[in-house]
């Protein structure tokens, strides 16, 4: 995947502008402090909080991820593998709870990436 793609920064915890610096402080979504973000990019100093309340919109992106996950797993397990709907729902609830940190981080990165375009970093000739 190209490092100048918007998907790259969303999937790999990178700054949407330079795609070099980390977006969240911890690498893993399943650590205790999964929600700690850098205030600005450690590499290019891009502001990760453009305005107060900016990440309210990420809530709707997160909702879309939950919906897509639910529909995808429904069609795989209930429609494709003929799992009973009750067993599916019993398994769905804990999986959604466990995926909350992952979707939280993914939604915030996706939301900021909508507003910030990737800019390729110029490589100094001595670094090539």
Q: Residues in the site for Zn ion, rule: CB under 5 A?
A: 15, 17-18, 21, 41, 43-44, 46
Please report the beta strands in 18-113, taking only residues with DSSP state E, as ranges in sequence order.
none
Considering beta carbons, is residue 73 or 121 the nearer one to Zn ion? 121
C-alpha 86/C-alpha 14 separation (Å) is 39
DSSP state of 123: P
First and final C-alpha spacing in the chain:
21
Is the CB of 17 or the CB of 108 nearer to Zn ion?
17
Nearer to Zn ion (CB atom), residue 68 or residue 114: 114
């Amino acid at each position: 995947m190209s490092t100048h793609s918007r998907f790259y920064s969303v999937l790999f915890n990178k700054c949407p502008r330079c795609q070099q610096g980390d977006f969240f402080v911890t690498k893993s979504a399943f650590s205790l402090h999964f929600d700690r973000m850098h205030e600005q990019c450690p590499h290019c100093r891009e502001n990760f909080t453009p305005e107060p309340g900016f990440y309210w919109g990420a809530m709707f992106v997160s909702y879309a991820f939950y919906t897509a996950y639910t529909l995808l797993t429904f069609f795989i397990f209930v429609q494709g593998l003929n799992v009973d709907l009750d067993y599916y729902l019993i398994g769905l609830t804990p999986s959604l709870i466990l995926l909350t940190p992952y979707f939280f981080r993914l939604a915030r990165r996706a939301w900021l990436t909508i507003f910030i375009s990737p800019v390729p970093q110029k490589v100094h000739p001595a670094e090539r």
